[in-house]
Amino acid sequence: MDILQAIEQRHCVRAYLDKAPDRQVIRQILDVARWAPSGANIQPWQVAVVTGNTQRQIGEAIIAAREAKQAENPDYPYYPADWRNPYKKRRSECGLALYKAQDIGRHDEQKRLEAWYRNYRFFDAPVGLIFYIDDIMQTGTWLDMGMFLQNIMLAARHFGLATCPQASLAEYPDLIREILGLEADKLILCGMALGYEDTQAPVNQYRLPREEVDSFTHWYE
């Protein structure tokens, strides 16, 4: 697939076919992704590929924590504490479009909850990825990780696979570390669903607009 097509056609997929990609394909995706740039070539990325029972454990543990009203304790703040426009408006529009695609009403709390819990089950994708780094790393490392994740998502498109990066899977990092047997010095960044897209699922039909280049670009001569 042409790289420009892969970038433009990539979207967050939230419904997958019951068909697992071959392990060798996953290895090839990661083999390409490792060529992402990183400051001083430190290559900070670490990845856990989870399937089967381990994947189910993660989902069940996080859902149980939420059901027990356990407070989230992410290793880092993802969103601003004080929202303002245009970000607040974009966030609201994103949520409304997603629920509309699933035919979930504004006041249907049960369906909203069920839809949200699908996050923790990797949207039933056959493969889940968990990304983490050592806690000695600083802010610049997060730039490296973003480029690494983008490489994975674009490489997946080459193999006919779909993805959805998921910050929600980092809400309870202690649970992730316990299940995966990771040391306390590993920071959980996010997860990612990986598999073959169910192109018939309504939730996969919705798209969000992007700002035009002139709205965010400033030219200096």
Confidence (pLDDT) at 107 = 81
- The pLDDT > 70 percentage for the chain reads 100
pLDDT over 90 at 218, yes or no: yes
pLDDT band at 28 (very low <50, low <70, confident <90, very high): very high
Distance CA 76, CA 136 (A): 13
What does pLDDT average to over the chain? 95
Ordered by start, the domain boundaries in the chain are 3-206
User: CB neighbours (10 Å) of residue 2?
Assistant: 9
Give the closest residue to 167 by CA, choosing from 144, 149, 185.
149
Confidence (pLDDT) at 115 = 87
Q: pLDDT tens digits for 130-181? A: 999 999 999 999 999 999 999 999 999 999 999 999 999 999 999 999 999 9
For the question of whether the overall pTM of this predicted structure is more than 0.85, the answer is yes
pLDDT band at 182 (very low <50, low <70, confident <90, very high): very high
pLDDT over 80 at 196, yes or no: yes
Give the closest residue to 76 by CA, choosing from 189, 183, 178, 191.
189
User: CB neighbours (10 Å) of residue 69?
Assistant: 6
Distance CA 154, CA 163 (A): 9
Confidence (pLDDT) at 221 = 96
What dihedral angle (degrees, nearest 10) is formed by the CA atoms of 136, 137, 138, 139?
A: -150
**Which residue type sits at 59?**
G
Radius of gyration for the chain, computed over Cα atoms and rounded to the nearest angstrom: 18
3-206 — its CATH code?
3.40.109.10
Q: What is the mean pLDDT of residues 14-42?
A: 97
Give the closest residue to 33 by CA, choosing from 22, 45, 50, 42.
45
- The pLDDT > 90 percentage for the chain reads 89
User: CB neighbours (10 Å) of residue 127?
Assistant: 22
Confidence (pLDDT) at 100 = 86
Q: pLDDT tens digits for 93-127? A: 998 888 888 888 878 889 888 989 999 999 999 99
Confidence (pLDDT) at 45 = 98
Confidence (pLDDT) at 171 = 98
